[in-house]
Amino acid sequence: MASLSPRTRRRALHYALSHAWVLSLARAGLGLPRRPPTEGYLTEAVRWGLGELAAAASRRRPVVWCNVALPSEFVYGLGAVPIMPEMAAGFAAAWRGAPDFIVRADGDGFPPDLCSFHRCALGLAREGWLPRPDAVVATSLFCDGAKKFLAHCSRLFGVPFHLIDVPYEDGSRAVARVAARLQEVAAALQAGGHGFDARHLPRSLELSNRARQHYLEVMRLRRHRPAPWRGSEALSYASVFFMSFGSPGGVRIYDALRRALAARVAGGRFAVPRERWRLLWLHFRPFYPGKLMPFLELEHGAVIAAEDMSHLWWEQLDPGRPWESLARKMTSHFMWGPVERRLEVMLRLARDYAVDGIVHYSHWGCRQSTGAVSILRQAAVGAGIPFLNLDGDCIDPRNGREEQARTRLEAFLESLPERRDAFAAGSGG
């Protein structure tokens, strides 16, 4: 496979995703069972991901490129497949491919100041690794780069671009405006052909609610001390969190995850051998393989008990009022609006998950998150919670500064008081 040219590899992947028999063969070869066992959330996630990619690659369903802040329920509700190139960049990083794609984007004239999620995604788009979009939909949530990046992609592929401009302040007027705009975009997509159909919307919202119920239980189980799930793994499921709500796969994945965590808690099988500290992680993690996360959680027993980016912030959706429900999900996003919303989430998670410290991972190029660090720090320290800001890069290992990050993390952990109730795995909750 390595000897094949990128073009041939890309074509082979598209062919595989477009033909069910290839996937069946691969599943058999990889030993992936058709019926997942209790701890089958990974299997469910792989099945869901491959299934959606196959539907997109074979053009069985229309494809919408969007940013992570567009509710995936909206896309599934139109009978389409959501492709979030920012999340694809995470996969490229996990497979050690990000630097090549970033170099490709740099060659097109994009400066290295820009967020590496978007530069890597640009490279992926230019190299043809992602299923071609039928339309691009962006929201103004929650960073500038995503909107500009997606607008650029729409020009690149010559497909319509739709922007959903979300007012900065939450409230009934904001909800009404966004709901009207969502309807407009849905109407424009349906009028443009490709098989978009909004009749799937109530079903999508029902599925989302079912997944949400499972996820709420996952969040409740994660409050257990010792923690049943490592936050580093939870953050690796960011693409599932952003892209699966509203699909049948989302329900299956979170049901399997809920059952797996419940079984771990019941059986006393916890995330790390000896939980010494519990941390709240703000923003994403480095997605490329590295030593930072094992160093933190496995070597030092500092388990990431909660993350702001994968906490569930929205209320139950109303399938009878889909546009308002989706609009409310968008306008209430904790990363949008004044920083007080994010502060409230940070302090609430810190309390609910009984954390000993907070780590903010300052991803290179992410102005909307790093610009608030001085305020987050002030609030955390004011609440008596130690706070560490860690500079790095989620996508590009060349900019990851891993050694420096490890040194700083080590010093931070040394400054934390040892928990009196530190647990060893198997000691029960």
Partner 1 sequence: MSAFPPRVYYTCSYVPPEAIWAAGCQPVRLLPDGPAPGECDAYLPRDFCPFVRAAFWQLHRMGEPAAVVLTTCCDPMRRLADVLQHHRPELTVLLLDLPRERGPRGQERYAAELERLQSSLSAWAARSGRTGLAPGSGRTLAQATGTFDRLRHLLRAARGAMPAPAFHRLLRHLLTCHPEEALTLLETGRGVAAPGAHAATEAAAPGSTEAGGAAAGAPGVMVITSHPVDPHALEVIEKAGARVVAEDSCLGERLLDVAPGSRDAGELAHAYLERPPCPRMELPGERLAYLEDLACRGGARGIIFLALKFCDNLSYDLPWISGRSLPVLLLEADWGVSSSGQFLTRVQAFVETLLPE
Instruction: Pull the structure tokens for residue 177.
Output: 């405006």
346 binds partner 1 (CB under 8 A): no
**Smallest separation, CB 136 to partner 1 (Å):** 9
Q: Which stretch binds partner 1 (CB under 8 A): 64-72, 146-154, 240-248, 284-292?
A: 146-154
Among 60, 96, 169, 411, binds partner 1 (CB under 8 A): 169
Select 114 or 256, whichever has its Cβ closest to partner 1: 114
Q: What is the DSSP string of 40-95?
A: THHHHHHHHHHHHHHHHHTTSS-EEEE-TTS-HHHHHTTT-EEE-HHHHHHHHHHT
Cα–Cα distance, 94 to 102 (Å, whole number): 14
Q: Please, what is the end-to-end C-alpha distance for the chain in angstroms?
A: 47
Among 364, 387, 412, 423, binds partner 1 (CB under 8 A): 364
- The site string for partner 1 over 301-340 (x = CB under 8 A, - otherwise) reads -------------------------------------xx-
**Smallest separation, CB 332 to partner 1 (Å):** 16
Chain position carrying tokens 């990046």: 149
Select 154 or 208, whichever has its Cβ closest to partner 1: 154
Asked if 164 and 44 count as a contact pair (C-beta separation under 8 A), the reply is no
167 binds partner 1 (CB under 8 A): yes
Nearest of 220, 340, 211, 357 to residue 282 by alpha carbon: 357
Chain position carrying tokens 């919202």: 205
132 DSSP 8-state letter: P
365 DSSP 8-state letter: T
**Smallest separation, CB 188 to partner 1 (Å):** 14
Among 37, 192, 289, 371, binds partner 1 (CB under 8 A): 371
Helix ranges (H only) for 332-422 are 340-352, 367-370, 373-382, 402-415
Cα–Cα distance, 357 to 237 (Å, whole number): 22
**Smallest separation, CB 171 to partner 1 (Å):** 11
User: CB neighbours of 362 closer than 8 A, spacing ≥ 6?
Assistant: 283, 369, 370, 373, 389, 390, 391, 392
* Contacts to partner 1 from residues 36-55, by CB under 8 A: none
Select 213 or 370, whichever has its Cβ closest to partner 1: 370
Select 108 or 403, whichever has its Cβ closest to partner 1: 108
Select 316 or 404, whichever has its Cβ closest to partner 1: 404
Among 43, 72, 116, 140, binds partner 1 (CB under 8 A): 140
Asked if 310 and 334 count as a contact pair (C-beta separation under 8 A), the reply is no
Select 128 or 167, whichever has its Cβ closest to partner 1: 167
Q: Which stretch binds partner 1 (CB under 8 A): 275-283, 346-354, 358-366, 402-410?
A: 358-366
Select 95 or 168, whichever has its Cβ closest to partner 1: 168
Q: Which stretch binds partner 1 (CB under 8 A): 69-77, 195-203, 349-357, 373-381?
A: 373-381
Asked if 268 and 109 count as a contact pair (C-beta separation under 8 A), the reply is no
The number of beta carbons lying within 10 Å of the beta carbon of residue 353 is 22
115 binds partner 1 (CB under 8 A): yes
**Smallest separation, CB 206 to partner 1 (Å):** 30
Strands 387-392 and 81-83, by their bridges, are unpaired
- What's at 288, amino acid-wise? Y
Select 59 or 152, whichever has its Cβ closest to partner 1: 152
Among 378, 404, 415, 427, binds partner 1 (CB under 8 A): 378
Asked if 103 and 295 count as a contact pair (C-beta separation under 8 A), the reply is no
Chain position carrying tokens 């987050």: 376
149 binds partner 1 (CB under 8 A): yes
Residues that bind partner 1 (CB under 8 A): 108-111, 113-115, 140, 143-145, 148-149, 151-152, 154-155, 161, 163, 165, 167-169, 177, 180-181, 338-339, 362, 364-365, 367-368, 370-375, 378
